[in-house]
Amino acid sequence: MTTTLPTHEPPVAEAPPAPVEPSRRRRRRDRGTAEADRGILTGADWRRPRVRVTAGTLHIVMLVVLLAVGLLPLLWLMKSAITPTQDTLTNPMGLFPHGFAFSNLAKAWNDVHIGDFFFNTIAMAAGEWAVQLIVATTGGFALSVLRPKYGRIVSGLVLATLFVPAVVLLVPLYLTILHPPLIGHSLINTFWAVWLPAGASAFNVVLVMRFFDNLPREVFEAARTDGAGTFRLFFSIVLPMSKPIIGVVSVFAINAAWADFLWPNLVLADIRVQPLSVRLPQIQSSTDLGVYLAALAIATLIPVVIFLIFQRTFLRGGGLGGAVKG
């Protein structure tokens, strides 16, 4: 709403009379489209020069701090990844290195085999993503849409695992992977060791269940009346309606897989299946600094790109992981 906005805005002038004018105009326009009508400060507050100067200064200081703290380390990594090692060692904060060393990236990718570990990470993330989606959507569908008698007990047991920290599972889960039931041979050093346990995420099931609960039941009933079976209902009605929540679960799943260290470090000891997160700490001492930093930069690229594409998903659900804002 724009009711609190000052009304004495001058018509758009070709040359603004005072330097504050254009910024103030833009500010007003932004306020009109902003989600919140107002915050702590009112339009009247903003018109007081002292407040405007203080708040404006604070905001600029904040922006500088955020740039220095949030962006600068990343920029340093990107710069050092293509800087000759000697330059980084002698003058780590130098703005203009003596030439570029794009060979760092090639060396990291080929000689240190970062390429292989990169694809291992993708394989790990893709499998974890698939298992999580299958478990969460089928399970959520059974619990929220089909609602069998024993559903209450199952959802209770699933919810209960939310209260059990992952730590407590570490040793028994490791022994389970070492001697899995029915399969008869150890899953250590196979991707199944990370794919399957990832599916046991109560958080995903809860997210999907909440979404399914809010779908209009009339649609399901109409589909049933038209003769759709349970499978048809799932694949042709529920899944197509669930794209938003599938997107959210996917983004979190892929990001979590990319970030995971402790568990893959335990069960993927074989170099041929190791993801980046497990491999990077091991190569530190044996790798040339420039090449090593190039490896770190390569490992950072995908998560940062995913974040920049799916900003809204992260910034809306990232905090409490969707626990507060459904």
Partner 1 sequence: MSASTSSLAAPASPPSPAHTAPPDQRARRRHNPITWVQRGGLTTLLFMLPMLIIFGVFSWSPIVQSVIMSFQKTNLVTAPTFVGWDNFAAVFHDPLFYTAIRNTGYFALLAMLFGYPIPLVAAVIMSEVRRMKGLYSVLAYLPVVIPPVVSVLLWKIFYDASGGGVFNTILGWVGIPPQPWIQDAATAMPSLVLQATWAGAGSTIIIYLAALTGVSPELYDAAEVDGAGIWKKIWHVTMPQLRGILFITLILQVIATAQVFLQPYLFTSGGPVNSTTTILLLIYQYAFTNSLGGAYGQATALSLMLAVFLAILSLAYFRLTARWSDK
Member of 36, 96, 184, 243 binding partner 1 (CB under 8 A)? 36
- Each residue 151-190 as x (binds partner 1 by CB under 8 A) or -, in order, gives x--xx-xx--xxxxxxxxxxxxxxxx-x-xx---------
E-strand ranges in 70-110 read none
* CB 15, min distance to partner 1, A: 21
Q: How far is the CB of 59 from partner 1 (least distance, A)?
A: 5
Retrieve residue 2's tokens: 């724009």
Q: Please report how close the Cβ of residue 303 comes to partner 1 at its closest, in angstroms.
A: 5
Q: How far apart are CA 213 and CA 215, in angstroms?
A: 6
Q: What are the tokens at 67?
A: 């740039």
Among 2, 259, 270, 309, binds partner 1 (CB under 8 A): 259
User: Rounded to an integer, what distance in angstroms lies between the CA atom of residue 221 and that of residue 228?
Assistant: 9
Closest-CA residue to 267 (of 202, 190, 169): 190
Q: Helix-strand-coil percent breakdown of the chain, rounded to 5?
A: 70, 0, 30
Helix (H, G, I), strand (E, B) or coil at 8: coil
C-beta of 107 vs 158, nearer to partner 1? 158
CA dihedral 286, 289, 293, 295 (to 10 degrees): -30
Q: Which of 124, 293, 294, 313 binds partner 1 (CB under 8 A)?
A: 293
Residue with tokens 């991707």: 191
Stretch that binds partner 1, among 5-13, 106-114, 122-130, 227-235 (CB under 8 A): 227-235
Residues 193-212 binding partner 1 (CB under 8 A) are 196-197, 199-200, 202, 205, 209-210
Q: Is the sign of the CA dihedral 318, 320, 321, 325 positive or negative?
A: negative
| Residue closer to partner 1, measured from CB, 15 or 69 | 69
239 binds partner 1 (CB under 8 A): no
Does 232 participate in binding partner 1 (rule CB under 8 A)?
no
Place of tokens 């970030």: 259
In angstroms and rounded to an integer, the radius of gyration of the C-alpha atoms of the chain is 26
User: Which residues, at least 6 apart from 10, have a Cβ–Cβ distance to it below 8 Å?
Assistant: 17, 21
* Rounded distance between C-alpha atoms, residue 52 and residue 27, angstroms: 12
Number of H helices, E strands in the chain: 19, 0
Among 5, 6, 13, 23, indicate the residue that binds partner 1 (CB under 8 A): 23
Residue 35: CB minimum distance to partner 1, A: 6
Contacts with partner 1, 43-82, as mask; x by CB under 8 A: --x-----x---x--xx--xx--xx-xxx-xx-xx-----
Nearer to partner 1, 19 or 181 (CB): 181
Interface region with partner 1, contact rule CB under 8 A, candidates 13-21, 110-118, 130-138, 241-249: 130-138
Question: Under rule CB under 8 A, which residues in 302-321 are in contact with partner 1?
Answer: 303-304, 306-308, 311, 314-316, 318-320
DSSP 246: H
Place of tokens 């404006």: 56
Instruction: Work out how close the CB of 27 gets to partner 1 at its nearest, in angstroms, rounded to a whole number.
Output: 4
Q: Shortest distance, CB of residue 177 to partner 1, whole angstroms?
A: 9
